[in-house]
Amino acid sequence: MLIVPEREIADLMTRQAAFDAVEQVFAAMASGDAYNFPVVREAIGHEDALYGFKGGFDRAGLTLGLKAGGYWPNNLEKRGLINHQSTVFLFDPDTGKPSAMVGGNLLTALRTAAASSVSIKHLARSDAKVIGMIGAGHQAAFQLRAALEQRAFEKVIGWNYHPEMLPNIEKVANEAGVPFQAVELDEMTEADVIISITSAFAPSLMANHVSAGAHIACMGTDTKGKQEVEAALLARASVFTDEVAQSVSIGEAQHAVAEGLIQESDVAQLGAVINGTDPGRISDNQITLFDGTGVGLQDLAVAASVVDLAVRKGVAIEVNF
């Protein structure tokens, strides 16, 4: 079995490699060549932590495995560790033997950012100039770096529940040479693309905060009860997702479906747009929304890619198992 420790990931996995892996696995899901297993996600009753498993099998790439991990909200304050902790395990699909264990923290951040970036590539207007960020935590910086590579953005606007955290994304904008402005939520109407990346259980972005023609990537809702945007916004938008079953059960679409504003059949796979079987955006006035729930196959795809890189660079640790 090969081990790729967390400490090696930053020197191995690039944003482009993560983007390519996620785009390919979305396409494989839509074509039926890959599928995810049911998600297990539980509050464990200790340290206020949420812990779970996401797995799947990609027949095309012969990638089988799971990610184990979750959210420990007290980590940063108590221990100086990031709150999201995860490890990816890969198995030989021919024998079932474990083939690799890969540090999943940075990979999770990169694949989550890659997912919204893929949605921007395929759904946002080509002339998008202003990108809005809702959320300014650890993951928001990854989101913005990846998103800025998809369009010639001329301005970044941002809002956060805790405004003192906005310098986290202002720094990313400055590094990219793009001006940044802190705004109120009702000023998000200026944005052509909006990324929401919070862990909220109540909506912040409302339907009237979004202008015609905008693309929204909702990246924080991955658990029953979580909600980042008003359900009415999904009724205004053409809704796309990584996996429909997750979108309507633990993703942003769960609320709009529960309120009867949309049906499961109204939610399309982003992979179908990538494959060309769904037209995606069909007009400049259309609002598109990507519900990024986070699927196990994303983690497996980036983990398999990083294992190959680690072997080539001679940094994978081989152990008998």
The one-character DSSP state at 22 is H
CA atoms within 13 A on the CB side of 25: 33
- Which residues in the chain land under pLDDT 70? none
pLDDT at 319: 95
Residues 268-283: tens digit of each pLDDT: 999 999 999 999 999 9
Sign (positive or negative) of CA dihedral 174, 142, 288, 211: negative
Backbone angles phi, psi at 78, to 5 degrees: -85, -35
* Centroid of chain to Cα 96: 28
Phi-psi region of 26 (alpha: psi -120 to 50; beta: other; left: phi over 0): alpha
pLDDT at 222: 87
Nearest alpha-carbon partner for 203 in 149, 252, 132:
252
pLDDT at 41: 85
pLDDT at 155: 98
pLDDT at 25: 95
Active site residues: 67
pLDDT at 321: 78
Round to whole Å and give the CA distance between 135 and 310: 33
